[in-house]
Amino acid sequence: MKFVFAICIAFFGSWGLSSVWGQSADLPLQHEGYHYLDRLDIQGRIRDDRNQDSICTVSTEVKPYSRTFLSGVFKQTYTSGMQPRTQQWHDLMRLALDDAYADTVSGKGVFKKLYRNQRDFFALNTSGLTLYANPILHLGAGQEIHNYTADLSQENRLLTKGARGVQVRGTLFGKVGFLSEFTENQMKTPQFIRNLHAETGVLAGESFVKVYDAQTPNPGFDYLTARGYFTYSPAKQIRLKIGKDRAFLGNGHQSLFLSDHSADHFFLNINTRVWKIEYVNHFAVMTDYLRGKPDTYGTHPKKYAVVHQLFYRPWHWLSWSLFESVAYSPVLPGGIRGFELEYLNPLIFYRSVEQSLGSPDNSMLGTALKANLLKRFQVYGQIALDDYNFRSRNLGPGYFGNKYALQGGIKYIDAFWIPRLDLQVEFNAVRPYTYAHFNPSGAWTHYGQNLAHSLGANAKDFHLIARYQPFPRIGMYLCYSNMLKGLNNANGNYGGDLSLPYTLYVSAFNNFIGQGTQLKINQVYGRLSYRLLKLDGYVDLEARYRKENQNTGISVMGSFRLNMPNIQPKY
């Protein structure tokens, strides 16, 4: 298999940006740079370095991006025709994302050692080693007014955010990249986040969380976050990443395959790009979260997941892919099976393996499409198929075993001919019982959190997002979300809770999205950001209006962040 793989690489050669794939750390997910690369991709500004008249195929569906990859993107970006403010914005983004470019920027610095490149607290670029060390800060405070219609009461609560840490990243000999990051966090959140923690025992995006001021009307969360990984490139077409981080597959606000909604997990990721094909293998170790587990019981049980996605990009503007995944528990009623070695085969149809093992695992198929049109639009979508019984159509509508999810979206760049005004519309629908399994340990979850769509199953949502950059340092973000989630009640499992076996269905037929007790959510979130100097630092002013059925919450927060994206929950 290795021999055949090597022959394929030698025969097809590289394509597009593969020639700039080196090793470095990745750009944190939800960073402003992801949207900026979308703009360059849609506008067709990234040119093939071998032929400046040819536009490159850009891999925007596989995140996070390598900083070396971003360096190649900026090097090949065709900037002619950019308006002055757009050019200044481009230069600021390049300084933030492109390490090779930042290394060319010099200044007096602080004490002649710090901020020499005007971006990094400490930077070292010597033979065989590049190193960047930066503090991480996110400090904020605000106020929420929450109204309860049940008893007509109103509560005013203080909101706070405190994250302090350090990040060290770099490269060794141009082949090995590394990152180590640690933050210590305390925050007092809006009511809807506290409600979800009270129901599930977890905080989205995090693992172990302690509650402080628990006996007061305004409790807070205290937790540590640490991630670290190595990357390695044995050839320019292949990139390996091993460590603890998270990933995102797709072009949307949500992903129906693999999202950054849940906590970091340990994985080995192999990304191969040859000719017009990109192939992603993701081998992950997950946590089967047990709520309220005493420390004396030992660790949370492990679970495993394997993912591969094959992309075909026949032209620079079109990308089509096939997705497949399996989640499974090392423990079955018949005993302990451990890690399933057969799933390590990167070039096999997982569904056939799962069936040959006796179908004990949770497999899923999917397909995705991205098309850039007229240098202004991007149309994208995903279909995730957890299970489907074609014979059920003759028996009745709404069969519980027909489990699938759909996504469709459009991005509109420089909307209505207004420079730097970008719009996005997205719709997602997830059928009841999708992502669940008859063995709850095999559900598509990690640490009690959904691995794909943030609402899990039995849900649908609509998002309208506007981004505007009126000046190079000032950015505006506005998101309206309309969400519907079907919750369980005393009658049983309606398919929205992935921690329950899907075999505990209420009805075999006539199932529909939103069944059970309906939770209707309308939310408007806005943010005004000002970038400081040439740092990856921002001052933010945020506001949120959220209505859950008849309960409403209005919050405002001001914050300062340094070397940290403004991460917002997607539910």
- Is the model's pLDDT at 332 over the cut of 80? no
Q: What would the pLDDT profile of 531-567 be if each residue is shown by its tens digit?
A: 998 899 999 999 999 999 989 999 999 999 999 999 9
The predicted structure's pLDDT at residue 471: 97
Q: Domain for residue 77, yes or no?
A: yes
The string of pLDDT tens digits covering residues 377-418 is 999 999 999 998 888 878 889 999 999 999 999 999 999 999
Does residue 31 sit within a domain? Answer: yes
Q: What is the pLDDT of residues 335-375, one digit of tens each?
A: 788 788 888 888 878 778 877 777 789 999 999 999 999 99
pLDDT value of residue 210: 95
Q: Judge whether residue 175 has pLDDT over 90.
A: no
308: pLDDT confidence band, cut at 50, 70 and 90? very high
3-state secondary structure 246-296: CCEECCCCCCCCECCCCCCEEEEEEEEEECCEEEEEEEEEEECCCCCCCHH
567: in domain? no
Residue 202, pLDDT > 70, answer yes
| pLDDT 10s digits, 435-451 | 999 999 999 999 999 99
Q: Return the exposure string of 35-44: e unless at least 16 CB atoms fall within 10 Å of the residue's CB, then b.
A: bbbbbbbbbb
On the question of pLDDT at 10 being above 60, the answer is no
pLDDT in tens, 238-294: 999 999 999 999 999 999 999 999 999 999 999 999 999 999 999 999 999 988 888
Position 97 in a domain: yes
The residues near 96 (Cβ < 8 Å, ≥ 6 apart) are 33, 119, 536
* DSSP structure class, residue 65: P
* CATH code for position 448: 2.40.160.130
Asked if pLDDT for residue 528 goes beyond 80, the answer is yes
In the structure encoding, which two tokens stand for residue 368, read together? 């995705």
Q: What is the pLDDT of residue 79?
A: 93
Phi-psi region of 382 (alpha: psi -120 to 50; beta: other; left: phi over 0): beta
Could you tell me the pLDDT band of residue 496, with boundaries at 50, 70 and 90? Answer: very high
Mean pLDDT of the chain: 91
The residue segments making up the domain with residue 438 are 2-557
212-242 residue pLDDT tens: 998 888 999 999 999 999 999 988 889 999 9
- Residue 1's pLDDT is 38
The pLDDT of 505-509, averaged and rounded, is 95
Q: Looking at the domain assignment, is residue 562 inside a domain? A: no
What is the per-residue pLDDT for 127? Answer: 85
Tell me the pLDDT band of 7, cut-offs 50, 70 and 90.
Answer: very low
Which of residues 112 and 113 earns the better pLDDT score? 113
Reply yes or no on whether the pLDDT at 22 is more than 70: no
Of 65-69, 139-143, 264-268, the range with the lowest mean pLDDT is 65-69
Residue 27 is assigned to a structural domain of this protein = yes
**Number of domains the chain is built from:** 1
CA distances from 474 to 30, 464, 469, 561 (A): 18, 21, 6, 15
Residue 565 lies in a domain: no
Please say whether the beta carbons of 406 and 434 come within 8 A.
Answer: no
Closest-CA residue to 291 (of 222, 199, 206): 199
Report pLDDT for 345.
Answer: 84
DSSP, residue by residue, 1-56: -HHHHHHHHHHH---GGGGG----PBPPTT-HHHHHHHHHHHHT-BEETTEEEEEP
pLDDT exceeds 60 at position 303: yes
- How confident is the model at residue 292, as a pLDDT? 83
User: What per-residue confidence (pLDDT) applies to 374?
Assistant: 96
Amino acid identity at 297: Y
Q: Is residue 180 helix, strand or coil? A: strand
**pLDDT level of residue 2 (50, 70, 90 thresholds):** very low
Identify whether 424 is part of a domain.
yes
- Whole-number pLDDT of residue 150: 64
State if pTM tops 0.85: yes
